[in-house]
Structure 1
Amino acid sequence: MDIFCDILVAGGGIAGIAAAVKAAREGADTVLIEKNSFPGGIAIHAMHRYICGLYNSDSDAPVNTLNGGIAEEICLMLKGLAPKTKAIRMGKVYVFPFATEDLLKVLRNLSDNQIGLTIFYESKLDSVITEQGSIKTASAKKLNEQLVIYPRSVIDCSGDGAVIRLSGAAYELSPANERQLAGFCFKIKGIVNPSGIFPVSVPYYIFRAVTEKKLPANLKFSKYYPGNIDDEGFCIINLPFENNFENIQEAGKHAVIVHQILADSLVSFKDSFIDKFSDAIVEREGLRMTGQYILTKKDVLSARKFHDGVVKNAWPIELWNQDKGPTYQYIKAGDFYEIPLRCLKSVNIKNLYGAGRCISVSSEALGSTRVMGTCISIGEQAGLAAVNSLSGNTL
């Protein structure tokens, strides 16, 4: 099947939905390719619990999001499904909690009936043809049918940089042993008095099991969060990048051991059970497109503003080191930095934009830009920029 469109968005995760919806709302004939049968990508697969990167780090409870737009729209829609939902403080920052099924409903509501947007689910991009520094065609396989797409502009929101790789666009990728730890989540049911569990107690018993060599060393950086229902909670274990990311069963085996340790150590977990494993091991770091500007750690921590700044962010630089675990470097309270439009534009492919995790940033700056709330706004701005480029209206 031959498909002609203004904008092709690769990847229907949180950034891809925002990019595609924004482009369609601006009047562009937009096509979205998504390998799963649903929108949301990793946010759904990995059972994420909170939207991070929506607010600045003021001590007062936030009322509005930093960027407004689709990010704020999503929060309002989630609040409509769960009226008691509000931003909560977690350490020095605020996050917005949500239930997986609610986010899925919201993303479907945003995208499924959007005029000008055609979505091909269960479709995997397999080739890109670039001529004279521009993408001319992209091919994707949907079940037994081959889709050949002729876009005017392309936005890579795939997370793993599928278009960037296939198009010959410049990119950077840290060596495997230097990348951040990956995360794997599982849901526990049957917990007694979950609100009475001191949050530090779960990591403590896991850490102790590591020191007793009952668990691999990297699992000492595990975290626990209470669920939306009285008897449930979520545990996130962390794995080095060198693990086989296709072998999710191995991660599941670690999760079973972790749960057993909790059941043996804490009365609240004594009769609990694992209700669900996440469908994916989530990389925190991957390919980063080389753009017309590379955002740096200094830019983030100095709260730098740009003439072409399009997204505001105040999330700290959150790095999950394979040896040291999580570290946080914060921006001055009440301030924010900006992500310039140049970080969303490929340096060598004229009609290619990046959004989500694979924009043009250093490995350290990625620790701040990769969170969900920021990625929604990056996607929205990439969609707008791609549409503007069709008429030559650029910053």
Structure 2
Amino acid sequence: MMSTTNELFDVAVLGGGPAGITSALAAARSGAKTILIERYGFLGGMSTAALVYPWMTFHTAAGDQVIRGIAQEIVERLMAMGASPGHLRDTIGFVHTVTPYDGEKYKLLAFEMLKEAGVTLMLHSFITGADAEDGRIRSVTIHNKSGVASIQARCYVDATGDGDVAYYAGAPWEMGNEEQKVQPMTMKFRLKGVRHDAIKQYMQSHPEQFYKKSLIDQLDELPITGVMGYYDLWAKAALPIARDGVLMFAGPGEDEVLVNISRISGLDPTNTAHLTEAEVEGRKQVYQLEDFFQTYIPGFENAYVSQVAPQIGVRETRRVIGEYILTGTDVLSARKFHDCIARSGYPIDIHDPKGAGVTANFIAEGGAYDIPYRSIVPKGMVNLWLAGRCISTSHEAQATARLTPSCMALGQAAGTAAALAAKQDCAASDLSIEQLQQALLDAGAELGR
């Protein structure tokens, strides 16, 4: 039996990841009666459920900060809690900065900030449907321990990552590259008992074995934040994992690293059977990798797995088709849009859907690209906005827009837009871009003006 809540919300945000958190905060701070619904018993999405760490990046390659607003507020509040050192130079050299953080304290901070803003929070609740007619969503269906319920709101934000709300509401979508293949999944994990001094010494003694942009000549002044390489040792080990080297990030503990190496390719993350297979294979790879580090990498002789992500990390699923599809050309040319609602300086970063490599293409002149409002408005939908990796992009552009700081900025934009539309009783496509941009600027967002 389905129950219907008696409350009518102005804004319902579905999904409590980085995009959903900032979306709900932005909507509530804009005066909207807001509910945030999340399937886990904690918030943070891929940042906490899949151990996506560190956040990268709030800056362009030239060092200009292009993501601020609520995302920056979260970083500063984590810093005040002793849960983040803030933005640090990326010693891999792939981006200008990375932002380490304590995932457990991020979960706590998200709860605190949402409570302060007056957001109604519903955890352990899984969205299973949407009642929509002529592009207008009337309600969404959720399942939880209490049974089946219908949540009604004037406006909705899809922050599920997979575009679930848009999918159930009948919005158009696509997935993957020209062969419908998506980027591989990764089971992330932490190793504890690591000697960072040994990592530094090996890098300085074997610079040719690391990513060409690595800041090895600056390691006497900079703390190691990330490492990509050990190409010779990786090749010698000949593990059955389709990677070409080691990728790991320091912290948050002094003797810890976060390992981003495992790779499960050729599966569809929206298919439950495929997800199940990925979870099993991913955990198998974790312990193959633990043995590899202990055997081959100096400084890891006594290292051990201290944490495995609660779920497999997903890079790419549905991309909902919006009023504009952001392209790889838009990104690499640092294109400006009149309806910009977020910016990013992260390069196009595609993990080969079939092979071992990563294709990286960098933005012109170390700059940033704009994300237009039209890319967070699904085509044909009246009261739905997109936030996070499911926004309207090409396969190439999704490979940059999917990164956490970008998703945070998109969440703030979507939540603000939904709140304004609820107040004005207007369709997403009729909302004043100038009014939305001014509201974002007033809230500290960076739009390049």
Q: Is TM (by shorter chain) over 0.5?
A: yes
C-alpha distance in structure 2 between counterparts of 1:204 and 1:235, whole Å = 18
State yes or no: 1:76 paired with 2:76.
yes
Change (3 A) 1:375 1:54: same
State yes or no: 1:345 paired with 2:377.
yes
Structure-to-structure mapping, 1:95-174, within 5 angstroms:
95-115=98-118, 117-174=119-176
Could you tell me which residue of structure 2 aligns to residue 23 of structure 1?
A: 27
Say which is worse superposed, 339-348 or 270-279, in terms of deviation.
270-279
Residue deviations 1:110-157, cap 9 Å, x none?
213322x11100001111111122111111122133221111111100
C-alpha distance in structure 1 between counterparts of 2:243 and 2:396, whole Å = 22
**5+ residue gaps in structure 1?**
none
Could you tell me which residue of structure 2 aligns to residue 332 of structure 1?
A: 364
Could you tell me which residue of structure 1 aligns to residue 437 of structure 2?
A: none
TM-aligned CA deviation for residue 280 of structure 1: 1.3
State yes or no: 1:205 paired with 2:198.
no
Change (3 A) 1:304 1:193: closer
TM-aligned CA deviation for residue 177 of structure 1: 6.3
**Helix, strand or coil: the match of 1:158?**
coil
Query: Quick one: which of 229, 235, 250 aligns to 1:226?
Result: 250
C-alpha distance in structure 2 between counterparts of 1:239 and 1:108, whole Å = 32
Runs of 4+ in 1 over 3 A off after TM superposition: 83-86, 192-204, 219-222
Change (3 A) 1:31 1:241: farther
Letter in 2 for 1:349: M
**5+ residue gaps in structure 2?**
204-226, 269-273, 434-449
State yes or no: 1:87 paired with 2:88.
yes
Which has the larger share of strand?
1
| TM-score, length-scaled by structure 2 | 0.81
Change (3 A) 1:233 1:98: same
Say which is worse superposed, 359-368 or 66-75, in terms of deviation.
66-75
Instruction: Give the conservation status (yes or no) of the 8 Å contact 2:193–2:255.
Output: yes
Instruction: Give the conservation status (yes or no) of the 8 Å contact 2:188–2:259.
Output: yes
C-alpha distance in structure 2 between counterparts of 1:200 and 1:123, whole Å = 38
Say which is worse superposed, 33-42 or 231-240, in terms of deviation.
231-240
Say which is worse superposed, 13-22 or 229-238, in terms of deviation.
229-238
State yes or no: 1:358 paired with 2:383.
no
Could you tell me which residue of structure 2 aligns to residue 280 of structure 1?
A: 311
C-alpha distance in structure 2 between counterparts of 1:189 and 1:240, whole Å = 27
C-alpha distance in structure 1 between counterparts of 2:420 and 2:196, whole Å = 53
C-alpha distance in structure 2 between counterparts of 1:123 and 1:357, whole Å = 21
**Helix, strand or coil: the match of 2:299?**
helix
Letter in 2 for 1:394: S
C-alpha distance in structure 2 between counterparts of 1:353 and 1:337, whole Å = 20
TM-aligned CA deviation for residue 257 of structure 1: 1.2
Query: Quick one: which of 273, 276, 291 aligns to 1:246?
Result: 276
Change (3 A) 1:177 1:138: closer
Pairs aligned (count)? 386
State yes or no: 1:394 paired with 2:411.
no
Change (3 A) 1:185 1:104: same
Alpha-carbon RMSD: 2.0
TM-aligned CA deviation for residue 92 of structure 1: 4.3
